Amino acid sequence: MKSIQIHPENTFKINYIVHEKNDSCLLISGVFRKNNKEYFSNIPVECNQFAKIITKIFPNTEYLDSLTTALFNNEQPINEVSPKRIINQDLFIDLALIVKPMESFRKSA
Tell whether 1 is covered by a domain: no
Domain membership of residue 98 as a residue range:
11-108
> Residue 56 carries which DSSP code?
H
pLDDT tens string 3-26? 555 777 888 999 999 999 888 899
The answer, as to whether pTM is greater than 0.85, is no
Tell whether 58 is covered by a domain: yes
Tell whether 3 is covered by a domain: no
Per the structure, how many domains does the chain have?
A: 1
Tell whether 72 is covered by a domain: yes
Tell whether 27 is covered by a domain: yes
Q: Are 26 and 17 in contact (CB under 8 A)?
A: yes
Distance CA 71, CA 11 (A): 23
pLDDT tens string 48-101? 888 888 888 888 888 888 888 888 888 889 999 999 998 888 888 887 777 665
Tell whether 5 is covered by a domain: no
